[in-house]
């Protein structure tokens, strides 16, 4: 039995949560869940097949009648109780997330879990603030009313980097607006999605309103996206898979929300606070071992500060403590899997041919060698069009490039297919103001990089997708607008009929 989080005991019946109870999948394929810090299997389960997706969608379809018809106040009450249930479960959620993903326990306890609880509290409030435009007589003979209605059954697909937060971001606005949901977590990270659904049930969410199908992308995922009873697909993951999801969703004309990859620029102008920029770059690049879609990945530093920035970041990276995710002093955990570690190492090894690895660039030896660890890595001297600058690496790797004019810095920041997040570092309000206007991204931070908050939207531009998570903007995405028009005349032969039949007066 694992003292940290015993998934075998908690999910003994299986890793599918359908119509209010745990059950096993029936795909005939077993998935091992591996602790990336040790390489040991901590849980095995049978993946969901099409039968589980069908059952979950049917449960959600049936639950929609009640949940979609509940008053905003009733939905809000349930979500407030949900936030309280998550607060009670905070310890388990943090331990499960750290075991499953290798996240340092301080990150799970201080970022993932409280952020998700705050999201539940935010959407409990938002449930009572659904607004349409004011009603009125836009035609003299009619009164118009705007209704914002839930869409129906939402099929959501989430990635492995923040399993709990992604579940929260997908599920909470959808429920607050009156939809019901089938969520597919990444098959290697099912734990906290299941705990999340169990907490919702304890809070009084009707059975079937939230279902979890733990299945593989190509079968359970595609079946969910193409399902005719699913009215909306909300997907977070890579741009490559997002394109495939879009193709399938188009076939059934679904509402689509895509949160895709990122390659965030970090632009340091020559009047910036160097110490702040160096600390911000290391924190921004290493959060969640770099497996963060908004992580700082490309630092552009104006020439006068370039050398000092490179040596400052390299020195600071060398102080970061890799270790057991359950040790409270560990700063950096392993990557999600050995396969992801090897993928990251592949990018860095190929870059050696055209760039300089300033620090890192290898897996640590000794006690950590059996885990999926990789040292914080800084790369300099790469060309703007090289793979290491253009591709999403999703590991603890920062690339640094110099620039001369402000025009050049902003142009380089915009020069990738992605547009999820960016930051600008300067003490000059006009320079940062220009950067916030001209960098094409869903979020631009000024003199910081990473913080998020429930009230503010998160979502991308360009190949980073469209649609927003968190905030009132995401809440509205999970609704459809209906125009209702009342005749005010009570006249059988209405004046406008003459344009169709009969004579003009």
Q: Which residues here bind ligand NAD, judged by CB under 6 A?
A: 157-161, 184, 186-187, 217-218, 221-222, 225, 236-238, 241, 244-245, 259-262, 293, 392, 394, 420, 458, 460, 464-465
- Output the smallest distance, CB 289 to ligand NAD, in A: 12
- Output the smallest distance, CB 221 to ligand NAD, in A: 3
Report the residue number, 17 or 403, with the smaller CB distance to ligand NAD. 17
Residue tagged 């479960």 (tokens): 89
Residue 247 is a catalytic residue: no
- Output the smallest distance, CB 123 to ligand NAD, in A: 17
- Determine the Cα–Cα distance for residues 408 and 384; give it in Å rounded to an integer: 12
- Output the smallest distance, CB 196 to ligand NAD, in A: 15
Q: Evaluate whether 211 touches 28 at the Cβ level (below 8 Å).
A: no
Reduce the DSSP state of residue 144 to 3 states and report it. strand
Of 259, 387, 392, 438, which residue is the catalytic one?
A: 259
- Determine the Cα–Cα distance for residues 361 and 352; give it in Å rounded to an integer: 9
- Determine the Cα–Cα distance for residues 408 and 206; give it in Å rounded to an integer: 55
- Output the smallest distance, CB 436 to ligand NAD, in A: 19
- Determine the Cα–Cα distance for residues 381 and 396; give it in Å rounded to an integer: 18
Report the residue number, 55 or 443, with the smaller CB distance to ligand NAD. 443
Report the residue number, 68 or 290, with the smaller CB distance to ligand NAD. 290
Q: Evaluate whether 475 touches 172 at the Cβ level (below 8 Å).
A: no
Q: 51: which DSSP letter?
A: H
Q: 134: which DSSP letter?
A: P
Q: Evaluate whether 226 touches 246 at the Cβ level (below 8 Å).
A: no
Report the residue number, 396 or 409, with the smaller CB distance to ligand NAD. 396
Report the residue number, 93 or 225, with the smaller CB distance to ligand NAD. 225
Residue tagged 């059952």 (tokens): 55
For residue 421, give both structure tokens: 């997040």
- Determine the Cα–Cα distance for residues 28 and 142; give it in Å rounded to an integer: 59
Residue 19's nearest CA partner among 65, 56, 69, 51 is: 56
What residue number has its CB nearest to ligand NAD? 217
- Please identify every residue annotated as catalytic: 259
């Amino acid at each position: 039995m694992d003292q940290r989080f015993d998934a075998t005991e908690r999910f003994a019946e299986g890793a599918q949560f359908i119509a209010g109870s745990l059950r096993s999948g029936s795909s005939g394929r077993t998935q091992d869940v591996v602790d990336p810090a040790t390489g040991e299997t901590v849980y095995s389960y049978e993946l969901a097949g099409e039968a589980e997706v069908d059952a979950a969608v049917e449960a959600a379809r049936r639950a929609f009648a009640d949940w979609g018809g509940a008053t905003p106040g009733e939905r809000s009450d349930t979500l407030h109780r949900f936030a309280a249930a998550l607060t009670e479960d905070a310890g388990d959620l943090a331990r499960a997330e750290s075991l499953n993903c290798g996240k340092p326990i301080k990150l799970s306890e201080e970022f993932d879990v409280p952020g998700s609880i705050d999201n539940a509290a935010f959407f409990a409030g938002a449930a009572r603030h659904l607004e349409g435009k004011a009603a009125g007589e836009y035609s003299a003979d009619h009164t118009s009313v705007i209704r914002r209605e839930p869409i129906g059954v939402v099929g959501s697909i989430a990635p492995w980097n923040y399993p709990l937060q992604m579940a929260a971001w997908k599920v909470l606005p959808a429920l607050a607006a009156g939809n019901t949901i089938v969520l597919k977590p990444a098959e290697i990270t099912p734990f906290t999605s299941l705990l999340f659904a169990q907490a919702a049930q304890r809070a009084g969410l009707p059975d079937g309103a939230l279902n979890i199908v733990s299945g593989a992308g190509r079968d359970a995922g595609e079946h969910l996206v193409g399902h005719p009873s699913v009215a909306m697909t909300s997907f977070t993951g890579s741009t490559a898979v997002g394109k495939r999801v879009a193709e399938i969703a188009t076939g059934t004309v679904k509402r689509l929300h895509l949160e895709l990859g990122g390659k965030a620029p970090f632009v340091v102008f020559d009047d910036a606070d160097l110490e702040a920029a160096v600390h911000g770059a290391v924190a921004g690049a290493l959060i969640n071992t770099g497996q963060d879609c908004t992580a700082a990945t490309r630092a552009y530093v104006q020439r006068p500060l370039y050398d000092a920035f490179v040596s400052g970041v390299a020195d600071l990276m060398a102080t970061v403590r890799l270790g057991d995710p359950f040790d409270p002093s560990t700063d950096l955990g392993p990557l999600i899997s050995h396969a992801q570690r090897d993928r990251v190492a592949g990018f860095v090894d190929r870059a050696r041919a055209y760039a300089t690895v300033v620090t890192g660039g290898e897996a640590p030896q000794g006690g950590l060698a059996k885990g999926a660890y990789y040292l914080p890595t800084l790369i300099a001297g790469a060309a703007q069009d090289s793979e290491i600058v253009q591709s999403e690496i999703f590991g603890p790797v920062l690339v640094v490039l110099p620039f001369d004019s402000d025009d050049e810095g902003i142009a380089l920041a915009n020069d990738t297919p992605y547009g999820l997040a960016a930051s600008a570092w300067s003490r000059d309000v006009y320079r940062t103001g220009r950067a916030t206007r001209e960098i094409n991204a869903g979020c631009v931070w000024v003199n910081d990089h990473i913080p998020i908050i429930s009230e503010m939207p998160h979502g991308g531009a360009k190949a980073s997708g469209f649609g927003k998570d968190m905030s009132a903007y995401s809440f509205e995405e999970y609704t459809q607008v209906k125009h209702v028009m009342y005749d005010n005349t009570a006249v059988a032969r209405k004046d406008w009929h003459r344009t169709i039949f009969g004579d003009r007066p």
